[in-house]
Amino acid sequence: MEYQNKNNLAVRILHFPIVKIIIGIFTCILSTFLVKQFITKPLFSSIISSDTMVMVIVTLLGTLVMTATYYYLFKYYEKRTITELSFKPAIKELLGGFGLGLVVIALEFLILYLFGFYKITSFEGLQLFLAPLGFLIGAAMLEEIMFRGVLYRIMENWQGTIVALLVSAVLFELPHLMNPNGSVLGSITGVIFGLVTGIMYTYTKRLWLPFSFHLGWNLAQPIFGSNITGVDRFGVVFNAELKGDVLLTGTAMGIEDSILSVFTLIILFVIFYRGSIRNKNFQKRV
């Protein structure tokens, strides 16, 4: 009896939501790091001379490793079908989310252009679609698996949608506070972005829409000449000139530090929030 009680206690601890979150995040990050450092990076560095190409391959393979780790970990850990990575609706949601992310940012720059605040000065080239694109894919999938697949999903099942939205959005923004050129408005935008991708997960109960929206949103910014959350190392497709109130045009942080991004994200949040309620995907605290 004493052994059985200890065993039951161990099971309860292992399946306590916070413990599951810690195990999920740690396992996915560790497996990806180990494969990258000890397998893919040494292997491809030895057979490919281009550091850029090696980085692209290693990053994309790392994304696959992380996704597979998440899939098999929770398949056996939670003994369930991993519906959040279902293939059937994947193409539709990937294309839709990616297109939505691109269109939203393009719309913001169109508004700035119409008011005379934005002007393309030159075409820089398509280097953005080499190594930086691979990095953006990896970064978007990393953040969506960590913050939506693990943290948000488990929190939502445990404490309900509202708590999951608030907690995951704030925690999502915390690592971004270390990015250069940060600001209060930019941090607010980051939290709202976390709310949007969270409610996108609730709307579909899958990772494809928030991941592809995240990727489209990030990729569109350097396309139009903006930094991404203060980071300028990705390069740009078009060099652009921004004139006017920085409240509209954004600071060195980029277009995310603009009230235009705040407004467009709030609109998206309301749309998917209402859609989630309509689809009866909203969850209450257990």
Residue 2 vs residue 245, higher pLDDT = 245
Let me know: does 156 contact 199? Beta carbons within 8 Å: no
- The pLDDT, as a whole number, for residue 33 is 95
Strands 118-123 and 238-242: antiparallel
Let me know: does 254 contact 228? Beta carbons within 8 Å: yes
**What residues are paired with 231 via a beta bridge?**
228
Average pLDDT over residues 93-113: 96
- The pLDDT, as a whole number, for residue 227 is 84
Average pLDDT over residues 216-232: 86
**What residues are paired with 238 via a beta bridge?**
123
pLDDT, one tens digit per residue, over 54-93 is 988 999 999 999 999 999 999 999 999 999 999 889 999 9
What percent of the chain is modeled with pLDDT above 90? 68
CA 145 to chain centre: 8
* Amino acid at position 140, single letter: A
Residue 206 has pLDDT above 80, yes or no: yes
Tokens 């603009």 — which residue? 258
